[in-house]
Amino acid sequence: MVIQAEATTPSAILDRASLLLDAFDGPGRLTLAQIVRRTGLPRSSAHRMLDRLVQLRWLRREGRDYELGIRLMELGSLAVHQDRLHRAAMPFLHELHRVTGFVVHLAVLDGPDVVYLDKVGGELSAVVPTRVGGRRPAACTAVGKAILAYSDERRIADALAGQAGARTRYSITTKAQLDTELDKVRAHGIAVEREESLPGFGCIAAPIGDLGEAAVAAVSVCGPVDRMLFDHRLSAPVRTTALNIWRHVDDGRVRVHPTLQQHPRPLGVGRSYADRRGPRTA
């Protein structure tokens, strides 16, 4: 006869493992005592599972401290690399960065947040405090608004409900504000954000997907708000990039050559951010 204790069903174990790993979201290094406190798991059970996770290299142990391990780095990198949307988008993201000089993001919606799948940015990249795998409240970001404008009402409501306070004094906080903003996105096919997510920075985003159905992702250019051109000179290449990505991911057989030069007016955006700052002082 085999009687399984409730806590040892496969699902319960996986939930516990997930809880253990989630505990590292923030502090980075944790002792057993801290992990027990953060997860509420029994000490002996947590200890046994941590040991195994170290053996599997999902965690790493240094003295009394546990940290996220190299196998998670590998699996995470593989997840991004294998993502079909990301693979289709990559050459177009690099091209958009090359042509505009700004930091380019590819993002998807996940609950109330956007999660960045890629960030291409050269020197300016270090200045913009976003990272691949990082999240931001969707309603504060251009990529988030671009996706929400082509999402159902439930997801739009989720985005506001789950938002943990406004990011900056310009962030959208009410349903009325968000509805007005999403109407604008639908009218122009472009979402704009000025210091709503990060003080000093602005973004222009376009939705990716069959917009008659829903957006699956968005692409944006992002930079210092006083250097962004909030008109067609930036919005046109961003929109073209979104269309090219979707054409490419939708039908793997179509080999779209990644170029924005075909667009009639790439003017003004051909010089990079670095160029516009004047000569290098290196």
| Contact footprint for its own copies (CB under 8 A) | 1-5, 8-11, 13-18, 21, 24-25, 28-29, 45, 48-49, 52-53, 56-58, 67-83, 90-91, 94, 98-99, 108, 110, 115, 117, 122-123, 126, 131-135, 261, 270, 282
Rg (Cα) of the chain, in Å, rounded? 22
> Hunting for tokens 């999902």 — which residue is that?
58
Q: Which of 53/178 has CB closer to its own copies? A: 53
Nearest-approach distance from CB 238 to its own copies, in angstroms: 17
Nearest-approach distance from CB 14 to its own copies, in angstroms: 5
- Cβ–Cβ < 8 Å for 89, 249: yes
Q: Which of 226/281 has CB closer to its own copies? A: 281
Q: Which of 99/143 has CB closer to its own copies? A: 99
Nearest-approach distance from CB 189 to its own copies, in angstroms: 25
Buried b (16+ CB within 10 A) or exposed e, 126-156: eebebebeebbbbbbbbbbbbbbbbbeeebb
Q: Which of 37/47 has CB closer to its own copies? A: 47
Is 282 buried (19+), middle (13-18) or exposed (0-12) by CB count in 10 A?
Answer: exposed
Tokens of 252: 């793997």
Nearest-approach distance from CB 220 to its own copies, in angstroms: 18
Per the document, the length of the chain is 282
Rounded to whole angstroms, the Cα distance separating 13 from 278 reads 57
Q: Which of 115/225 has CB closer to its own copies? A: 115
Q: Which of 18/180 has CB closer to its own copies? A: 18
Nearest-approach distance from CB 94 to its own copies, in angstroms: 6
DSSP structure class, residue 270 = S
Nearest-approach distance from CB 194 to its own copies, in angstroms: 27
Q: Beta-strand (E) ranges in 83-160?
A: 103-110, 113-120, 135-137
